[in-house]
Structure 1
């Protein structure tokens, strides 16, 4: 949880300090883009490989290596003498995060029995919500306080004590786990997956800055055949030695395949909303970083409360309907926000945003906590790292897609003849929120593909389990204690797959 919080805060804390970084280092707009985009790019590309390395060499070992590297890279970011070094260290930081973060979910999956996992993932969901929203607030405070005259540097240096504490506690309390059968790192798969993700994410991240050139569209289109080549090679690799980078058989498990689709589209929602929201408050309304950061507190609290309720009380009773209710509640919050923004215009106050943010946060909390358990519920422990890396990668790809769509949903909607910057950004914000609402509708519909509930035995797989074509998991190819989920439901203990 410490590692997850540190990573999430680091992702969000930088945006709020961009003006200070630009002023201090004299960085160009392109360099500033790389400060944020370089991290995301290295993180997304390395996630699947990082997860697989944990399966092969030990999840605790890779977790500690990743956390140590992340802490060191954070220190180097804080000590960077110029924009070039800062960008390089941010890329290093993203790469080490890709070693650390996938182990979090796989260690949880391998450590806790199925009946306890829901509560743990509930805590994980609360940490996700807390980190995503408190990052800007912490960044605003550290930037405005200008501790010891260091300006923006404490936003990176704050990771040092947290990282050291995580390393010490991790060595003592985390147990080692790895795949029970010998696996090998699929180097060709690493190259193909990295190339395909780079071809997709790089133009999305920097296309708007470059004016959406033709090469960007061609590169994104070229990522499709590279992805297809990657899938074909993974099938060959599976038949040859059983050590592919991605276990394609996982996609035959209904809960995994459907959950991955939900993660991707929900990542698009997050990518659009959080960036547009920050731009709207700071550039459109002219709020200080601290005022903008503090406005997100109700959102953070609502996510944490709803995440705890969803996995501990609601999901065991209502299953998939809890996630669908979360999408509907979040959509209601978006509609309320649209109404408030149109009613008050540039005179809107933070307290007037509180109600829509609480409603949106409650909806998001109902989704982010149980969805992780939904995706990993039937994944064999020996493939937990690979599956965890896929979950995080898909989420990052969704975020990148959302950030790319911001150029259309937000910047493309800024009226040229608006009477003021505030009015222009306000109109663009409302336009982007309609996009968020549309993608949420897609998320809601995709959730119908999730199994309504799972059997009491589902998810209680061990390292000897395998995934067969029906999506059942255990050594014999059948769900433990049942022929299939539909015939083995126990109404007294319904749990979402």
Structure 2
């Protein structure tokens, strides 16, 4: 009887933890999809709400910025007050704010709601890996992380397609709004199941919150990004340049404060000593630069296809599927087969392969102009996707491989944060590298297709330059890359780009 009873209890416990895994994976899937799903619908949002191009930038960048700023603090809050509690608070907030996004009467409401949505994701997502860590024994985590990788690949492919279909179908005459409203039933189900099946856990010795550090980082980033996004519409006023200069001063104060806080209580928002590790500092440069060029590319790409070429959201979404599939396939191959044998060279090959894809895309766009077809875009997109996969899967392990073990968690969180900050900065730079060319072309009364094609190729040269810089920075990474347990967590955020 005792043996049968123990077996029954074990089966219940086993079922509970796998259901808990399903809940946290669904939450990560929601966050991943919510970035890519919006990109496809951006032109429809602009048309329906009468949003300006700067508002469109804020709708996409606001989420990334709030997410980046809140990531480290969200993880600390979970350590202090309970990961299950913060996960459920984040999911509840994410669900409610998704409803606000879907019902937004104007662009201003949508921009604010997207900021709040990013902040709620920052409470929810950092708890995922911690919950997995305390729910599954070490010998099972490899299998769990493999499932996580498959989910990431599925999200990369599914996001654009779900966004395209929901926008194209115009359900109940709601146009683009179902891309946000679809989160409601998923979020509610996640709350009910998460409350029942996720076990509560806390860190035995949690660090204190660094709210001053968060405030300084937030102010500095807003002083930098606001003039970048609004400057074009306002004629690049003097105050914009003064604001960007003030951002530099705020970041200097931030560094000083973080050093002081480290001395006082040992719990700064950013562990500055990590930057003394050459491979980590270079890796942060890689993450930031790659985030910038990704932010630029994915926004200009959808504007180019839908506003410039006049393609439907579904047409644009289907065009992006080969890119996502190629990235998912090469990511799996790079980690399992290539990186263990060739190490750093795989990442550098990825940067070069993606650079070749960008140059091929520039050539195709120049050759065919506004008459370009999906089939003509296919070769450069597949090459770019293959290059992306070779970078995104092993990069976190490469950056962390020389970081002291006691700082691995802090370093992993900082990598995710920097990548999202790069994404937000790239979205801000779209006003400079893309819309400036659009404005010049429209002022000359040129055909819309030609104007957007020129702006697209001009911005792609910036992407190419960024990839060349990424390749150069990779020489500072370790020659060999050891696979660690932190990769899945970072991979979620990298693929969200």
TM-score, normalising length from structure 2? 0.82
Equivalent residue of 1:279, what SS? helix
Q: Report if aligned partners of 2:29, 2:151 keep a CA contact under 8 Å in 1.
A: yes
Take 1:395 and 1:201, find their aligned partners in 2: how far apart are those partners? 15
TM-score, normalising length from structure 1? 0.82
Report whether the alignment pairs 1:430 with 2:454.
Answer: no
Corresponding residue number in structure 1 for 2:64: 40
Take 1:437 and 1:76, find their aligned partners in 2: how far apart are those partners? 38
Report whether the alignment pairs 1:206 with 2:230.
Answer: yes
**Structure 1 residues 430 and 27, CA gap change in structure 2 (3 angstroms):** closer
Tell me how far 1:382 sits from its aligned partner.
Answer: 6.8
Q: Deviations over 1:77-110 (max 9, x none)?
A: 2233444443332222121112123334555677
Corresponding residue number in structure 2 for 1:468: none
Corresponding residue number in structure 2 for 1:154: 178
**Structure 1 residues 47 and 323, CA gap change in structure 2 (3 angstroms):** same
Q: Deviations over 1:319-378 (max 9, x none)?
A: 111111111111111122122222222221101111111110011011111113334456
Q: Report if aligned partners of 2:102, 2:180 keep a CA contact under 8 Å in 1.
A: yes
Take 2:186 and 2:451, find their aligned partners in 1: how far apart are those partners? 41
Unmatched runs of 5 consecutive residues or more in structure 1: 461-497
Take 1:39 and 1:446, find their aligned partners in 2: how far apart are those partners? 28
Take 1:16 and 1:24, find their aligned partners in 2: how far apart are those partners? 14
1:252 to 255, 267, 276: 276
Equivalent residue of 2:394, what SS? helix
Take 1:347 and 1:327, find their aligned partners in 2: how far apart are those partners? 29
Q: Report if aligned partners of 1:12, 1:132 keep a CA contact under 8 Å in 2.
A: yes
Q: Which moved more, 1:146-155 or 1:370-379?
A: 370-379
Report whether the alignment pairs 1:78 with 2:102.
Answer: yes
**Structure 1 residues 454 and 430, CA gap change in structure 2 (3 angstroms):** closer
Report whether the alignment pairs 1:452 with 2:486.
Answer: no
Q: Deviations over 1:372-427 (max 9, x none)?
A: 33344566777566434422321122123322332333233446357522122222
Q: Report if aligned partners of 1:270, 1:402 keep a CA contact under 8 Å in 2.
A: yes
1:191 to 215, 222, 225: 215
Q: Report if aligned partners of 1:126, 1:303 keep a CA contact under 8 Å in 2.
A: no
1:238 to 229, 249, 262: 262
Corresponding residue number in structure 2 for 1:480: none
Q: Report if aligned partners of 1:55, 1:386 keep a CA contact under 8 Å in 2.
A: no
Q: Deviations over 1:285-331 (max 9, x none)?
A: 11111111110010011011111111122111211111111111111
**Coordinate RMSD, CA, aligned:** 3.1
1:319 to 335, 343, 368: 343
1:371 to 395, 403, 424: 395
Aligned residues: 459
Q: Which moved more, 1:293-302 or 1:28-37?
A: 28-37
Take 2:481 and 2:432, find their aligned partners in 1: how far apart are those partners? 40
Corresponding residue number in structure 1 for 2:248: 224
1:443 to 470, 478, 483: 470
1:355 to 375, 379, 383: 379
Take 1:316 and 1:373, find their aligned partners in 2: how far apart are those partners? 11
Take 2:74 and 2:96, find their aligned partners in 1: how far apart are those partners? 18
**Structure 1 residues 135 and 30, CA gap change in structure 2 (3 angstroms):** same
Q: Deviations over 1:16-45 (max 9, x none)?
A: 334444554455666555433433332233
Take 1:125 and 1:240, find their aligned partners in 2: how far apart are those partners? 40
Q: Report if aligned partners of 1:118, 1:311 keep a CA contact under 8 Å in 2.
A: no
Report whether the alignment pairs 1:334 with 2:334.
Answer: no
Q: Report if aligned partners of 2:355, 2:464 keep a CA contact under 8 Å in 1.
A: yes
Higher helix fraction: Structure 1 or Structure 2?
2
Take 2:348 and 2:190, find their aligned partners in 1: how far apart are those partners? 35
Tell me how far 1:170 sits from its aligned partner.
Answer: 4.7
Q: Report if aligned partners of 1:49, 1:389 keep a CA contact under 8 Å in 2.
A: no
Tell me how far 1:447 sits from its aligned partner.
Answer: 0.9
Unmatched runs of 5 consecutive residues or more in structure 2: 1-24, 487-497
Tell me how far 1:169 sits from its aligned partner.
Answer: 5.4
**Structure 1 residues 173 and 280, CA gap change in structure 2 (3 angstroms):** same
Equivalent residue of 1:71, what SS? helix
Take 1:31 and 1:343, find their aligned partners in 2: how far apart are those partners? 32
